[in-house]
Amino acid sequence: MSTLRLDSDIRNWVLIPITVAMFFVGIVRHNIGKLMHRDRKVDLKALREAQAVIRAERLRNNSGYLQSAGFRMRKHFFCAPETGVFNQAAKKANPQAQMLSDPTMMTSMLTKNLNFIVPNMLTAGWVNFFFTGFVVGKVPFPLTQRFRGMLQRGIELQSLDVTYISSLSWYFLNFFGLRGVFNLCLGENTLDDTQAMQQQMAMGMNTEKAFASVKENLDMLDHEFVLYVAERRAERLLRRLVSGAAVGEARAFANAEF
């Protein structure tokens, strides 16, 4: 398939407006978020327990990059029979009980979510109404057909190369890809929607059930250090160098077993 050439009018009136609009909407959301969180009261006990669950999940997902001793120390911190974090009584009240005792809790949660839902709905509707059906760019590397649904939303053209990007897909790419730009321009970024949703879910969780589930997952985990090959290669290389071998010879000896 021959390469399509992007019309300058599409660049000026579709690609650039979507990018600029997403940037300014992000700035507005950032400032509104700071105003809404200025007087927010944080439950330190609930936050500490929620962060413990998140840390334990990260430990389980990335345990292969830790040596056995380091993993055992962290696992003991969370799962020790008497002193472990997940064997302590939960200090956070059940979320259902909190809502019954504090009717304003639901209103507060809804107000916090408005800064996430309303701007995204309006921006997505604006892009879908005015800019649907345009091809605005092309990625510089080949992709498989599985990426067609992600990169060509709003365009039902199977003959089009999967590397071309539609205007609606460009909106979603900007939605997730401008975080680094916001971090540079705004400093403390309040626009990490994935992290915000994860924290809100953790804050509203049933602590006792979450502790039991995460503790069970850590206890059942069969730890295996995935970087042992690199360590063994480095050890063989250093031993050969200490014995007086040349660098090339030592490198060949270190790689011979692997």
Asked if residue 156 and residue 28 are part of one domain, the reply reads: yes
In a domain, 1, yes or no: no
Asked if residue 73 and residue 50 are part of one domain, the reply reads: yes
The encoded tokens of residue 156 equal 């039902």
Asked if residue 80 and residue 68 are part of one domain, the reply reads: yes
Non-local (6+) Cβ contacts of 254 within 8 A are: 233, 234, 236, 237, 240
Question: What is the torsion angle, in degrees rounded to the nearest 10, for the CA atoms of residue 209, residue 211, residue 215 and residue 218?
Answer: 110
> What is the Cβ-side half-sphere exposure of residue 155, based on CA atoms within 13 angstroms?
23
Asked if residue 238 and residue 127 are part of one domain, the reply reads: no
Asked if residue 91 and residue 51 are part of one domain, the reply reads: yes
In a domain, 154, yes or no: yes
pLDDT (0 to 100) of residue 201 = 53
Asked if residue 50 and residue 117 are part of one domain, the reply reads: yes
At 25-81, the pLDDT tens digits run 988 888 887 777 666 666 677 778 888 888 999 999 998 888 888 999 999 999 988
| Domain membership of residue 254 as a residue range | 227-258
**Gyration radius from the chain CA atoms:** 26
Asked if residue 76 and residue 52 are part of one domain, the reply reads: yes
What is the H or E stretch that residue 138 is in? Answer: strand 135-138
Domains of the chain: total: 2
**Single pTM value for the model:** 0.58
Asked if residue 49 and residue 157 are part of one domain, the reply reads: yes
Asked if residue 250 and residue 161 are part of one domain, the reply reads: no
Asked if residue 101 and residue 23 are part of one domain, the reply reads: yes
pLDDT (0 to 100) of residue 165 = 92
In a domain, 65, yes or no: yes
pLDDT (0 to 100) of residue 228 = 72
Non-local (6+) Cβ contacts of 258 within 8 A are: 229, 232, 233
Asked if residue 258 and residue 219 are part of one domain, the reply reads: no
Q: Could you tell me whether strands 164-166 and 135-138 are parallel, antiparallel, or unpaired per DSSP bridges?
A: antiparallel
Asked if residue 239 and residue 177 are part of one domain, the reply reads: no
In a domain, 34, yes or no: yes
Residue 63 has what DSSP assignment?
Answer: G
At 127-148, the pLDDT tens digits run 989 998 899 998 888 888 888 8
At 87-113, the pLDDT tens digits run 887 666 555 555 555 555 666 667 667
> How many other CB atoms are there within 10 angstroms of residue 138's CB atom?
14
